[in-house]
Amino acid sequence: MYTALRLQRKLKRELRHGAVQVIVVDPEPYMTYQPFLPEAAAGSISPRHVVVPLRRVLGDCQVIIGEVTAIQHGKRTATIRTLATEEEGTGSIEVHYDELVLAPGSVSRTLPVPGLAETGIGFKTVEEAIGLRNHVLEQLDIASSTRDPDVRDSALTFVFVGGGYAGVEALGELEDMARYAVRYYHNIAPEDLKWILVEATNRILPEVGEEMGRYAVSELRSRNIDVRLETRLDSCQDRIAVLSDGSRFPTRTLVWTAGVKPSPILAATDLPLNDRGRLACTAALQVDGVEHAWAAGDAASVPDRTAAEPGAVCAPNAQHAVRQAKVLAENLLASLDGRPLSDYEHKYVGSVASLGLHRGVAHLYGRKAKGYPAWFMHRVYHLSRVPTFNRKARVLAEWILSGLFKREIVSLGSLENPRAEFKLAADTGRHPEAS
């Protein structure tokens, strides 16, 4: 979206006269600002405001809602599956291009843990974040109404695997939200909830540095969250999470955020990948050794020109992705004009993470902060980064409103099955004796 935005701005006249066409393909009609997903899960921001509608911001581009299933760069052809092609049974359409910009990001990196594919949930999309919010609130309802102590215990146990941004922030925000919500349940006390964070290495949140990572562990533990370092999930069959330290937790909630891997579409192209499956790129964001192909973001392996060690590449995060996208657009235009290209260079400025309402940890521009100041920095930083003035204004308004009123604690899980009520009515209408 950022590359297309810049091309749209620089090629306004050409786009309007039809001399140039910019085609953006994405299965979703929006761009997701992923750092806001934990707050969306907690209910501090509504789901609509963590996404940016592509058609609204890319008015001069052609937006195709569909999934690229293959790219034959040798023939300059992308194969795209859309809802229409599926419905019509035509399979897919082919789009021909002159220049290719590939930025499909990453997907959850799963491991062959027994039961994971059947029971785990990821935390990369707005659907997953809202689904998880509804699920957690539903578990409180189950625990409150069951007479079976085993069901109650597993409903109130929440296991998160992976101590990066996604896992820690999602757990921090959801635990905070659930602890607040139980005040409205007559038979659940905050101490009845069991939250477990499982991390394979000896630290969490590597993005904020070692000292702040240690602080994050002690902050979470002070809230009774069971943080288990140097521990792995061995299996999660039959709703029982078994950890490598031998402990077993009956649970109905298993959130898997143990890293990402490049989007599978990369393997369906004729472009060169490195040993980690990312597109091997030059510092100018061209796919190495391939003409007219460009890449940025999590899918691209771009040399980190600011790192001391040779061969270092940029980490997959939004900080690099957004900046690379803008340099990429400038370089693409320069290459069309026959001008020299610039190399991408950005020194990582550190990071901020929220651990729940009014709690956070930050190591940004050399400054370390924890607690309320870090949480405040987190909000200011992300508000300044979320794209478009429209989204900034809406998010700010929501934060102000949620500061003035009580938190929303309703589960709208039934939204995921909107036809259920009508279907029941129609079925009982067909068999009136059943009503």
Binding site for ligand FAD (CB under 6 A): 25-28, 31, 34-35, 37-38, 67-68, 103-105, 123-124, 165-166, 263, 265, 297-299, 316-319, 321, 351
Q: Which element (helix H / strand E) includes 180?
A: helix 165-181
Q: How far is the CB of 350 from ligand FAD (least distance, A)?
A: 10
Nearer to ligand FAD, 159 or 166 (CB): 166
Q: How far is the CB of 145 from ligand FAD (least distance, A)?
A: 31
User: How many residues are listed for the chain in this entry?
Assistant: 435
Nearer to ligand FAD, 250 or 277 (CB): 277
Nearer to ligand FAD, 154 or 351 (CB): 351
Q: How far is the CB of 426 from ligand FAD (least distance, A)?
A: 35
Measured CA to CA in angstroms, residue 348 lies from 11, 221, 392, 434 at distances of 30, 29, 24, 64
Strand ranges (E), 300-340: 300-301
Q: What string of DSSP letters covers 197-266? A: EE-SSS-S-GGG-HHHHHHHHHHHHHTT-EEETT--EEE-GGGEEEETTS-EEE-SEEEE-S-EEE-GGG
Measured CA to CA in angstroms, residue 208 lies from 83, 214, 281 at distances of 41, 10, 27
Strand ranges (E), 37-76: 51-53, 62-72
Nearer to ligand FAD, 7 or 182 (CB): 7
Return the axis-axis angle of helices 389-404 and 371-385, rounded to nearest 10°: 150
Q: How far is the CB of 50 from ligand FAD (least distance, A)?
A: 10
| Residue 83: partners with Cβ closer than 8 Å, 6 or more residues away | 65, 66
| Residue 12: partners with Cβ closer than 8 Å, 6 or more residues away | 60
Return the CA Rg of the chain: 23
Nearer to ligand FAD, 68 or 216 (CB): 68
Q: How far is the CB of 415 from ligand FAD (least distance, A)?
A: 21
Q: How far is the CB of 64 from ligand FAD (least distance, A)?
A: 9
Nearer to ligand FAD, 156 or 260 (CB): 260
Residue closest to ligand FAD when measured from CB atoms: 297
Q: How far is the CB of 31 from ligand FAD (least distance, A)?
A: 6
What the block records as the tokens of 18 is 């039809």
Nearer to ligand FAD, 26 or 226 (CB): 26
Q: How far is the CB of 378 from ligand FAD (least distance, A)?
A: 8
Nearer to ligand FAD, 101 or 140 (CB): 101
The answer to whether the CB of 286 falls within 8 A of the CB of 293 is: yes
